[in-house]
Amino acid sequence: MNLLRRNDLIMLAFGIVVFAVLQGLMEEGIIGSFWKLNLMLIGINIIMSVSLNLINGYTGQFSLGHAGFMAVGAYVGVVLTTNFHVPFLGALLAGGAAAGFLGFLIGLPTLRLRGDYLAIATLGLGEIIRIVIMNIEYVGGAAGFRNIPHYTNFAWVFFIMLFTLFFIKNFVNSSHGRACIAIRENEIAAEAMGVNTTKYKIMAFTIGAAFAGIAGGLFAHNYYIISPASFTFMQSFIFLIMVVLGGLGSITGGIAGAFFVTFISAALANWPEYRMIIFALLLILLMFYRPQGLFGYVEITNMGIFRKILKRGGTA
């Protein structure tokens, strides 16, 4: 058991080293402002894809409304910091709580639906969220919300991302996480083994939505203005691409997917058509040859050298 704690500490130390190196490179100007912005986006997208993976990959509930929850977190966050001068952390948590609560409310009725029906219903709900925001004059409507204080920096993004990874990793490696995975594998058998399937679907959905909300807060405070146009279902599709490319049911995969998609998007920023054509072809080819995604259900901590360093690493 102490081995597991030790592994967490090793991972934490590794994370801090990565942070220090990146931060140093930024301060030295070796990583310029364009890539600095994209590193932050990668961090935010990792939170989005890993939290979406909890719903889609681990619990097997196909959600296409993740951008909607991000929008809720973003708007609650900016209203609190801009209009009420709430401290940043408080605003982030409130945004996460609001998104989580909405996820809970939405999940309660919709998670009875299966497969493609759930996908379409969540897509619709995400759009409804966006359209409602667009019609609230208080937050600037379609024109967007202005004068947001610039609170987000690389440290905030990195450490909240690290916390998200630990949270989700610990969750899926527990009896609660196994209950979610059992639902994905065979809902009827899961129920017969004593898993309250409704409860765990909603739990996964709520946790996923809450982290999307926090990511939304981080995202919003990185800009002077945000508008509902940043949170369309096309954006939800992008998060889905990250999860599917990386691996449905793998945290490593979620990280890799977020990294890859954000990186390609940045590198091809001037040729947006190519970017989407590449993603589209990748999605199709992946479904043909490796439908479980690059990492499938595997975690990097269970591979070769990592396994040696970590002894019996956190099993997925």
Partner 1 sequence: MELSQQLLQQLINGISLGSIYALIALGYTMIYGIIKLINFAHGDIYMVGAYVGFFAITQAQVSILPALLISMVVTGLLGMLVEKLAYKPLRHAPRISILITAIGVSFFLEYASMYFVSPTPRTFPEVIDNVAFHVGDLVINGQQLLILGITVVLMAILTYIVQKTKLGKAMRAASFDTETAQLMGVNADQVISFTFVIGSSLAAVAGVLVGVYYNSIDPLMGIMPGLKAFVAAVLGGIGILPGAVVGGLVLGVIEALVSGFISSTFRDAAAFAILILVLLFKPSGLFGKNTNEKV
Partner 2 sequence: MAAELMRVEDVSEVFGGLKAVSDFNFYINKGELVGLIGPNGAGKTTVFNLFTGVYQPTTGTITFNGKSIVGLKPYQITQRGIARTFQNIRLFSELSVLDNVKIAYHCHVKYGLLETVLRMGRYFQEEKEIEEESMKLLSVFKLDDKADEMAKNLPYGAQRRLEIARALAAKPKLLLLDEPAAGMNPQETKELMDMIRWIRKEFGLTVLLIEHDMNLVMGICERIYVLEYGMVIASGHPEEIKKNPEVIRAYLGGGA
Site residues, partner 1 (CB under 8 A): 62, 109-110, 112-113, 115-117, 119-121, 123-125, 127-128, 131-132, 134-135, 142, 188, 234, 237, 240, 244, 272-274, 276-277, 279-284, 287-288, 291
The dihedral built from the CA positions of residue 44, 49, 55 and 231, taken in this order, carries a sign that is: positive
CB of 226 to partner 2, least distance (A): 29
Closest approach of Cβ 122 to partner 1, in Å?
A: 9
Nearest distance from C-beta of residue 101 to partner 1, angstroms: 18
Binding region for partner 2 (CB under 8 A) out of 23-31, 46-54, 182-190, 209-217:
182-190
Q: Which does 1 bind (CB under 5 to 8 A by kind): partner 1, partner 2, none?
A: partner 2
Q: Is 53 exposed, middle or buried (0-12, 13-18, 19+ CB in 10 A)?
A: buried
Residue 223 binds to partner 2 (criterion: CB under 8 A): no
Using the minimum distance from each CB to partner 2, give the nearer residue, 159 or 167.
Answer: 167
Residue 195 in the binding site for partner 2 (CB under 8 A): yes
Find the binding residues for partner 2 in span 140-169 (CB under 8 A). 166-167
Residue 142 interacts, among partner 1, partner 2, none and using kind-specific CB cut-offs from 5 to 8 Å, with partner 1
Q: How many CB atoms lie within 10 A of CB 31?
A: 17
Q: Which of 64, 76, 125, 179 binds partner 2 (CB under 8 A)?
A: 179
Q: What would the x/- binding string for partner 2 be over residues 295 to 314, using CB under 8 A?
A: --x-----------------
Residue with tokens 């909300």: 213
**Residue selected from 30, 143, 193, 234 as contacting partner 2 according to rule CB under 8 A:** 193
* Between 104 and 166, CB nearer to partner 2: 166
Residue 171 binds to partner 2 (criterion: CB under 8 A): yes
- Closer to partner 2 at the Cβ: 76 or 182? 182
How many residues make contact with partner 2 (CB under 8 A)? Answer: 30
Q: Which does 115 bind (CB under 5 to 8 A by kind): partner 2, partner 1, none?
A: partner 1
Partner from partner 2, partner 1, none contacting 26, C-beta within 5 to 8 A by type: none
Four-residue CA torsion sign, 42, 44, 48, 53: positive
CA gap 203, 211 in Å, rounded = 12
Measured in degrees and rounded to the nearest 5, phi and psi for residue 109 equal -85, -40
Q: Which residues are within 8 A (CB) of 84 and not within 5 positions of it... i.e. 6 or more apart?
A: none
How is residue 107 written in tokens? Answer: 């999940």
Rule CB under 8 A: say whether 1 interacts with partner 2.
yes
Can residue 263 be called a binding residue for partner 2 (CB under 8 A)?
no
On the CB side of 22, CA atoms within 13 Å amount to: 21
Could you tell me the smallest distance in angstroms from the CB atom of residue 181 to partner 2?
7
Q: Helix 88-110 crosses helix 197-220 at what angle (to 10 degrees)?
A: 140
**Among positions 15, 19, 31, 178, the unique one binding partner 2 when judged by CB under 8 A:** 178
List of residues contacting partner 2 (CB under 8 A): 1, 4-5, 8, 166-167, 170-171, 174-179, 181-182, 185-186, 188-197, 203, 297
